[in-house]
Amino acid sequence: MKTTECPKYLLPYRELWERDHKEAILAWWREARFGLFLHYGLYSQLHRHEWVMMQDKIHVDDYAKLVDMFTAHNFDAEHITDLALACGMKYVNLTTCHHENFCLWDSKIESFNAKNAPCGRDLVGELSEACDRKGLGFFAYYTFMLNWRHPYFVSRSENFPHARPNYPDPEPRYLFKEKEDFSKYLDYIRKIMDELLSNYKITGIWLDAISAWWALGEEYIPIEDIYAELRRNHPDVLISWKQGATGTEDFASPEHFFHGVTENVRRQYGDAGANRALRGFEGNRLKHNEICSSVQQGTWGYCPKFANRGVNELKALLDSANEQNCNLLLNVGPMADGSINPVQEKILLVVGRGM
């Protein structure tokens, strides 16, 4: 959505905003320090893990039956934004669409969405509007290069095993056969990201998963062209893709700590993948970045079998991130009904008040 007047969260930077919208957003970003991450989707109905479709090898049509359970009757944008403010957070990031491909907005491109579920609501619209009204930035997580439902996403391979669940029998929905088929997926993501960014007030688009870049690279992913299109159509929107692909992202957001290329990347993705990882890291490492982490150790979606991390550990993580010239994006996964677990809410409040 094109910005026509200064957003409330940018009012302290209004003079700069009137001269240069993007510079004002980046100035705000450098002072933001703390944000709320929300992993919510169909996987939340099972209280297991956001990768449950992959881990349990659930076929596409069987997984889609979770839509019938998705009511989100306690997803409350007012409460979520009040909680973020009470924690001293300056922005909220919602998983608008995770790897399962279930969209939390009223998409006209993807019918597999919350509006068409028993929920019958546009959760992205509700949360983005509440953030805008209360002076919070709003970021949209989008599963850019990992999609277990779209028929033309790439097949799993030795160096990209997460591309598809490892089904013991073929998945009839999957139609990818050759590299040219992937162009159909690229057309899809271009259209759906444009829809998302055109219809809602969004500070930044937060792309996942960078492992696809390490595995596939430029041969499959014309990332410079995609970035150029995003910037041309949505010049005020920040772009991030985890550690970064080209180093031209507005910020990087690695998980748990800021790091460069490791031997794990080289072992899994070879020298080409390691060189791609190095390019992204080197281009972004001197910027004001972000570290994302979760209240529950080992999961992003709500899963009661995983323990909550201690308040002191999370306070230290926030301090460490800020000392490294990074914001901390701290995640909780709403439960099946859309509400935040009360214990995790208290943890957030104690960590935030420690600021």
**Whether residue 288 has pLDDT greater than 70:** yes
Alpha-carbon span 171 to 180, nearest angstrom: 20
Residue 250 lies in a domain: yes
Give the residue numbers spanning the domain of 341.
8-353
Helix (H) or strand (E) segment spanning residue 97: strand 91-97
Domain membership of residue 304 (yes or no) is yes
Domain containing residue 330: CATH number: 3.20.20.80
Query: For residue 354, what pLDDT is reported?
Result: 64
For residue 1, being part of any structural domain is answered with no
* 238 falls within a domain: yes
Residue 49 lies in a domain: yes
Confidence of residue 174 (pLDDT cuts 50, 70, 90): very high
Number of domains composing the chain: 1
Question: What is the tens place of the pLDDT at every residue in 60-93?
Answer: 999 999 999 999 999 999 999 999 999 999 999 9
42 inside domain: yes
| pLDDT, tens digit, 9 for 90 and up, residues 7-57 | 999 999 999 999 999 999 999 999 999 999 999 999 999 998 999 999 999
Share of the chain above pLDDT 90, in %: 93
pLDDT in tens, 226-240: 999 999 999 999 999
* Count of alpha carbons within 13 angstroms of residue 58, beta-carbon side: 19
DSSP classification of residue 341: P
The single-letter code of the amino acid at 336 is: A
- Residue 3 in any domain: the answer is no
* Radius of gyration of the CA atoms of the chain, in A: 19
Instruction: For residues 197 and 96, give the distance between their C-alpha atoms in angstroms, rounded to a whole number.
Output: 11
Contact at 8 Å (CB) between 270 and 159? Answer: yes
- Whether residue 313 contacts residue 272, with contact meaning beta carbons closer than 8 Å, is answered with no
Which of 338, 343, 333, 350 is CA-nearest to residue 141?
333
Residue 2 lies in a domain: no
Q: Please state the rounded mean pLDDT for residues 159-169.
A: 95
Q: How confident is the model at residue 3 (pLDDT cuts 50, 70, 90)?
A: low
The greatest distance separating any two alpha carbons of the chain, rounded to the nearest whole angstrom, comes to 60
The sign of the torsion formed by the CA atoms of 207, 210, 215, 218 equals: positive
Could you give the CA distance from residue 92 to residue 82 in angstroms, rounded to a whole number? 11
Residue 264 has pLDDT above 90, yes or no: no
Query: What's the pLDDT at 4?
Result: 75
pLDDT at 259 over 80: no
Round to whole Å and give the CA distance between 142 and 96. Answer: 6
